[in-house]
Homo-oligomer: A and B are copies of this chain.
Amino acid sequence: MIKSYGGYFMHLDRTFAVLGGDLRQVDVANRLLARGERVHALLMEKNQLLAPALQQAGELRQVLQSCDVVILPLPLTTDEQTVNAPFSGKSLPLEECFRLLRPGAAVFAGKVSRRARELAERFQIHLNDYLEREELAVKNARVTAEGALAIALDELPIAMFQAHCLVTGHGRVAKELIRVLRGMGAPITVCARKYKDLAEIEMEGCQAAPISQLAQAARNADVIFNTVPAKLFGRACLTNLRPETLLIDLASRPGGVDLAAAGELGIHTIWALSLPGKCAPLTAGDIILQTVENCLEEEEL
């Protein structure tokens, strides 16, 4: 393991396994290899971006038993039965995976369900969920913001520097969106509830609007970025929009827009989920690896 903050590097003699997942996991494996680590990439043999040196993985059972650090995918599983492995022809049941892991190995995974966590614990495995780490959330928020900007650039027939943007909410994604939209020179209104957030929004160079003024702010917007996971954009609010307004919903399930109503009213709506993995998988992989490193470093301290 190389510790990378600030330029002091230290090799700890560890063996890594990176299992399953999408391009992010491929990237994690490639980065470890590039840093000179001993690393095995498993259950991703069909991906062509995997470094040649990683394409001949060892035998699964043997690898898992010997590894010190195991990085499982995000999400860990999509069926609650097997390790999520879209780039593999093989299937690995979670239970078998946990049984094979060496006791004492540091095991990481993303978006771990309660059921999977309980299963792992039966085998004395503690799953560190990197998706719950704040530093990952901060950086993923930026990648999400970039993905949202890309959608706006692709869909809007006007330039961003003159597009009136409305951002709802003032959490991590909203803050990074503000940064990115400000960089484009766009006029931005941000709608939030708390006075503290309204003050911060002003300091960020935006127009602050209390939630009571959402309808009016939405009506003036050329593009709306919703980050609030509550149905702010129900039929009433949607009816009020100008027909050319673009509505980008970044809220996780169940989302913030009444999609049926939006469809009927002809409001161009895009519900954009999981942008980091889609828009910038290599950066998303980088972020996961940094987060895993941070966790390992904390354990050592």
Residue positions of A touching B, CB distance < 8 A: 5-6, 23, 133-136, 138-139, 141-143, 146-147, 149-150, 153-154, 156-162, 176, 179-180, 182-185, 194-196, 198-200, 202-203, 205, 208-210, 212-213, 216, 279-283, 286, 291, 294
Whole-angstrom distance between the Cβ of A79 and the nearest chain B Cβ: 27
Nearest-Cβ distance from residue A284 to partner chain B, whole angstroms: 8
A281 to B156, CA, bound (A): 9
Q: What is the CA–CA distance of A47 and B5 in the complex, to the nearest angstrom?
A: 42
Q: With A and B bound together, what is the CA distance between A194 and B150 in angstroms?
A: 31
Partner of A5, one of B138, B143, B205, B210: B210
Tell me, in angstroms, the Cα distance from A243 to B182 when the chains sit together: 32
What copy number does this chain have within its complex?
A: 4
A-B interface, 5 closest residue pairs, ranked by CB to CB distance from nearest: A183-B183, A134-B196, A135-B199, A150-B153, A159-B283
14 new A-B contacts at CB < 8 Å, known A142-B203, A180-B184: A5-B198, A5-B208, A6-B209, A6-B210, A6-B212, A133-B195, A134-B196, A135-B199, A142-B161, A143-B159, A146-B184, A154-B154, A180-B183, A183-B185
List B contacts of A23 (CB < 8 A): 157
In the complex, residue of chain B having the shortest beta-carbon distance to the beta carbon of A196: B134
Question: Which residue in B133, B156, B212, B291 is a CB contact (below 8 Å) of A280?
Answer: B156
* Chain B residues closer than 8 Å to A162, beta-carbon distance: 283, 286
Name the residue of chain B whose CB is nearest to the CB of A297: B195
CA distance A280 to B149 in the complex (A): 14
Q: In the complex, A216 Cα to B8 Cα: how many Å?
A: 12
**Which B residues touch A143, using CB under 8 A?**
159
Shortest Cβ distance from A182 into B: residue:
B183
What is the CB-to-nearest-CB distance from A215 to chain B, in angstroms, rounded to a whole number? 11
Residue contacts A-B, CB under 8 angstroms, 22 given: A5-B213, A23-B157, A133-B195, A134-B196, A134-B199, A135-B198, A135-B199, A139-B199, A142-B159, A146-B160, A147-B153, A150-B153, A154-B154, A156-B280, A158-B280, A161-B203, A162-B286, A180-B184, A182-B183, A183-B183, A185-B203, A195-B291
Question: In the complex where A143-B159, A183-B183, A195-B294 touch, is A138 in contact with B200 (Cβ < 8 A)?
Answer: yes
Contacts of A141 in B (CB 8 A): 203
Smallest Cβ-Cβ distance to A198: which chain B residue: B135
A176 to chain B, nearest CB (A): 7
- Interface pair A6/B213, CB less than 8 Å apart: yes
A176 CB contact (under 8 Å) in B136, B156, B203, B294: B203
List B contacts of A280 (CB < 8 A): 156-159
Q: Give, as a whole number of angstroms, the nearest-CB distance from A151 to chain B.
A: 9
B-side contacts of A279, CB under 8 Å = 153, 159
